[in-house]
A and B are shown apart, each in its own frame.
Chain A
């Protein structure tokens, strides 16, 4: 097991150090792309099971379904193609990995973790011509951003009965964006370039409540809501702007009535407009609604244990617009879960094929998810 932990740590280093860049993306407008806090298993069902998934940072009551010490790490690389008219741009992206540790004591279950909330990692390099003292002057623009607004969560769940569990969580919004802006000109132009390196920090707080209840036999309903507190964006310690942490409400249902198959559905709404005013570059902030449905089924046996086969679809809107119009994202997902070492190790592989559309632009994305969990 120590070897496995070493691998996990090494893997994280590889992924973070090779952070790839994207640019001019539909998904990464404004304060960034809402990654969603989904585990590898939930992502493979398009997020349909997130309200009931103990490893997704969504419903604090759901952590009660992980009733023993476990550690989960997930990585979410993305490959996307952005089209504007006849222009195409390709990008590969690796985000800050998510992490969660869960443990139980009697009927109490606690979890602590951190997940990217709005990821803003990209780079843009453009050659253009701009007017300087009325003279068209060749120029190169390089803008990049790294980092994310992250949701650090401390959750506590309580098993009231086998049919009802509740939970509550405190959230700290933390993280930073390190940006680089450079406008350079040819030496022969006599125009000197401008560059800035900034580090924007985010701070904020919120809390959430959740419940999981088996209302009918084989039908589990889960719901959660998040209440946002104050948050701010700071530049080198100076507060620039303030807003509220977005409130969120979600509802999920799961049906276990078919042997070996679980069906999930979920609806979720995030009041992103609470962030209005926090971003100076956002071209419109919108509340977002997400719908997702998916199934998980026992698959063939592999090394003495059944694989889990998952599939689903999702449809949602994104919080930050393009040219003032809201962006829609939809697509399908699939993946497998590999329980290893008699359940002590779990690998969840998932892939989402997502399409984002905005007026005049379209984006196709392969959003991959790898969850790696151990239960010592």
Chain B
């Protein structure tokens, strides 16, 4: 090829490349829908009644020791919740001044326990008290919290705090502990420090206590003094010891000992359960388990645009019933062969991952719709059963931390209009974008 011809040939390439590489200029929309046939989306709505085939309440959430926050409450005759904190591992010996070896602590200058309090949905009264009891008793089974209750007696009172502030946010308090009691405990092998807390006031009082799990839990501190071997009294040496809560029992399973570092004991609570309803929240905390029987057509063969679980509220009365609670829907992560509802209600997807959350006021009688789009997509069938159990767990964001509860009419409601139902907006399983 001659040189000029070669140049002409080469020039053709950038020309075509330039044509091909023109940047796209999308100024769209104007030509549709006239020139865009076959791109419509057929949308259908349907209401699936009777699709909830089982609904029930599952009580006892959160598990003992997993409370966040701990609740300390006394509503005169309707609510009584106490807190127990364990301090099983403490320094019991002390290096005396001029001493050859550590000896037992013979003098305590002071001792106190620190609590980090948060206000609850019940307004804190102007004056309130927290009494601290020695609830350790080697004969009781320490995994049965109610067995500690008889030891909340005046004879075991080891400290008290008077609150003179109607705080609305948070408050850190120090409750003085009887040093004689504590020195005795420290000097007695196998004697443990387990403190029970009870709140009291002339009116209804309810406080939240931050648990140890969150790093700001009950802390026991004491100041030991060395005096015996020091020739001059003015050289007294004081050492402060501080311990977060810890529990060494039960030995098995190990995780349970950690859980029982602190926990609350529900002695009395208003009953939020009612016939033909499902209850979410309250004390003890209740979760609702709903099992569905959704036609496979909706999980496998159509594109679901919106799926909503419709629930009708049964109003709940009581203090703070006008304060909203967040209703969280969860996908259960147990496999389809699990038969334990309680287990199904325990192994959950993170809140909001598969289901929308919604703030709801307990005292109202609203119709609530919870988005369950992703749930339906998770329920697709495969070889040949469901990939996930067709169950939904409803729980409150304040589970175990409030006596307030949400209540909805169940499948047993006399009026069919009140029963749970599934509203589905979908596009039929057509092949979209066909030539």
- A interface residues (Cβ-Cβ under 8 A, vs B): 4, 7, 10-11, 14-15, 18, 20-21, 23-26, 29-32, 75, 77, 79, 82, 84-92, 94, 120, 123-128, 130-133, 141, 143, 145, 177, 179-181, 183, 185, 190-194, 196, 198, 200, 233, 235, 240, 278-283, 302-304, 322-323, 338, 340-341, 344-345, 347, 349, 360-361, 368, 370, 372
* Contact for A347 among B9, B21, B29, B36, CB less than 8 A: B9
Q: Which residues of B contact A21 (CB under 8 A)?
A: 24, 26
For the complex, give the distance between the alpha carbons of A91 and B22 in Å.
Answer: 10
* Contact for A322 among B30, B32, B34, B306, CB less than 8 A: B34
Q: Which residues of A contact B423 (CB under 8 A)?
A: 133
B9 touches A280 (CB 8 A): no
Q: Tell which of B4, B9, B433 has the most Cβ of chain A within 10 Å.
A: B433
**What distance in Å separates the Cβ of A71 from its nearest Cβ neighbour in chain B?**
14
A18 touches B39 (CB 8 A): no
For the complex, give the distance between the alpha carbons of A280 and B39 in Å.
Answer: 11
Which of B59-67, B159-167, B279-287, B424-432 lies at the binding interface?
A: B424-432
Q: Which residues of B contact A345 (CB under 8 A)?
A: 1, 5, 9
* Contact for A87 among B5, B30, B306, CB less than 8 A: B30
For the complex, give the distance between the alpha carbons of A29 and B15 in Å.
Answer: 29
B17 touches A15 (CB 8 A): yes
Q: Given A126-B29, A303-B8, 16 more contacts at CB 8 Å?
A: A14-B17, A23-B31, A126-B28, A126-B36, A130-B43, A132-B425, A133-B425, A177-B435, A179-B432, A190-B308, A191-B305, A196-B303, A198-B432, A235-B431, A240-B434, A347-B9
**CB within 8 Å for A29 and B35 given contacts A7-B13, A89-B27, A179-B434:** yes
* Contact for B20 among A14, A120, A347, CB less than 8 A: A14
A77 touches B433 (CB 8 A): no
**What distance in Å separates the Cβ of A7 from its nearest Cβ neighbour in chain B?**
6
**What distance in Å separates the Cβ of A240 from its nearest Cβ neighbour in chain B?**
8
Interface flags for B17-60 (1: CB within 8 Å of A; 0: not) read 10111111111111110111111010101000000000000000
A79 touches B22 (CB 8 A): yes
Q: List 9 A-B contacts (CB under 8 A).
A: A7-B10, A23-B32, A84-B31, A123-B26, A185-B305, A198-B432, A279-B434, A302-B8, A345-B5
For the complex, give the distance between the alpha carbons of A85 and B34 in Å.
Answer: 10
For the complex, give the distance between the alpha carbons of A7 and B9 in Å.
Answer: 10
* Contact for B434 among A91, A130, A280, CB less than 8 A: A280
B39 touches A92 (CB 8 A): no
A370 touches B12 (CB 8 A): yes
For the complex, give the distance between the alpha carbons of A306 and B19 in Å.
Answer: 26
Q: Which residues of B contact A179 (CB under 8 A)?
A: 432-435
Q: Which residues of B contact A338 (CB under 8 A)?
A: 8
* Contact for B25 among A82, A90, A302, CB less than 8 A: A90
**What distance in Å separates the Cβ of B290 from its nearest Cβ neighbour in chain A?**
20
**CB within 8 Å for A24 and B32 given contacts A143-B433, A181-B39:** yes
Q: Which residues of A contact B303 (CB under 8 A)?
A: 194, 196
Q: Which residues of B contact A322 (CB under 8 A)?
A: 34-35
For the complex, give the distance between the alpha carbons of A16 and B73 in Å.
Answer: 73
Q: Which residues of A contact B4 (CB under 8 A)?
A: 303
A89 touches B30 (CB 8 A): yes
Q: Kindly state whether residue B373 has any CB partner on chain A within 8 Å.
A: yes
For the complex, give the distance between the alpha carbons of A206 and B433 in Å.
Answer: 27
For the complex, give the distance between the alpha carbons of A283 and B1 in Å.
Answer: 51
A323 touches B28 (CB 8 A): no
Q: Kindly state whether residue B361 has any CB partner on chain A within 8 Å.
A: no
For the complex, give the distance between the alpha carbons of A197 and B191 in Å.
Answer: 70
Q: Kindly state whether residue B371 has any CB partner on chain A within 8 Å.
A: yes
B2 touches A124 (CB 8 A): no
A11 touches B16 (CB 8 A): yes
For the complex, give the distance between the alpha carbons of A25 and B37 in Å.
Answer: 11
A200 touches B32 (CB 8 A): no
For the complex, give the distance between the alpha carbons of A349 and B13 in Å.
Answer: 12
**CB within 8 Å for A340 and B30 given contacts A14-B20, A14-B21, A77-B20:** no
Q: Kindly state whether residue B345 has any CB partner on chain A within 8 Å.
A: no
For the complex, give the distance between the alpha carbons of A235 and B430 in Å.
Answer: 12
Q: Tell which of A126, A282, A338 has the most Cβ of chain B within 10 Å.
A: A126
Q: Kindly state whether residue B320 has any CB partner on chain A within 8 Å.
A: no
B434 touches A200 (CB 8 A): yes
B431 touches A198 (CB 8 A): yes
Q: Which residues of B contact A177 (CB under 8 A)?
A: 435
**What distance in Å separates the Cβ of A275 from its nearest Cβ neighbour in chain B?**
10
- Among all A-B residue pairs, the 10 with the closest Cβ atoms: A87-B30, A281-B38, A24-B31, A179-B433, A181-B433, A194-B303, A181-B432, A24-B35, A15-B20, A341-B1
**CB within 8 Å for A361 and B20 given contacts A21-B26, A281-B434, A347-B9:** no
**CB within 8 Å for A280 and B38 given contacts A23-B31, A194-B305:** yes
For the complex, give the distance between the alpha carbons of A126 and B32 in Å.
Answer: 8
**What distance in Å separates the Cβ of B295 from its nearest Cβ neighbour in chain A?**
19
Q: Which residues of A contact B9 (CB under 8 A)?
A: 4, 340, 345, 347
Chain A residue with the shortest CB-CB distance to B24: A20
* Contact for A360 among B13, B30, B34, CB less than 8 A: B34
For the complex, give the distance between the alpha carbons of A133 and B15 in Å.
Answer: 53
B36 touches A143 (CB 8 A): yes
For the complex, give the distance between the alpha carbons of A234 and B147 in Å.
Answer: 72
**CB within 8 Å for A192 and B305 given contacts A89-B28, A124-B36, A283-B37:** yes
B26 touches A84 (CB 8 A): no
**CB within 8 Å for A15 and B31 given contacts A192-B373, A196-B432:** no
Q: Which residues of B contact A4 (CB under 8 A)?
A: 9
Q: Kindly state whether residue B356 has any CB partner on chain A within 8 Å.
A: yes
B34 touches A84 (CB 8 A): yes
Q: Kindly state whether residue B304 has any CB partner on chain A within 8 Å.
A: yes
**What distance in Å separates the Cβ of B429 from its nearest Cβ neighbour in chain A?**
10
For the complex, give the distance between the alpha carbons of A118 and B15 in Å.
Answer: 25
**What distance in Å separates the Cβ of A179 from its nearest Cβ neighbour in chain B?**
4
B435 touches A233 (CB 8 A): yes
Q: Which residues of B contact A361 (CB under 8 A)?
A: 31, 34-35
**What distance in Å separates the Cβ of B57 from its nearest Cβ neighbour in chain A?**
27
B20 touches A18 (CB 8 A): yes
**What distance in Å separates the Cβ of A77 from its nearest Cβ neighbour in chain B?**
4
**CB within 8 Å for A190 and B39 given contacts A18-B20, A90-B27, A281-B434:** no
Q: Which residues of B contact A131 (CB under 8 A)?
A: 43
A190 touches B28 (CB 8 A): no
Chain A residue with the shortest CB-CB distance to B2: A303
B435 touches A279 (CB 8 A): yes
B13 touches A125 (CB 8 A): no
For the complex, give the distance between the alpha carbons of A190 and B423 in Å.
Answer: 13
**What distance in Å separates the Cβ of A299 from its nearest Cβ neighbour in chain B?**
14
Chain A residue with the shortest CB-CB distance to B304: A192
A87 touches B31 (CB 8 A): yes
Q: Which residues of B contact A370 (CB under 8 A)?
A: 12, 15-16, 19
B306 touches A191 (CB 8 A): yes
**CB within 8 Å for A125 and B432 given contacts A18-B20, A84-B35, A190-B306:** no
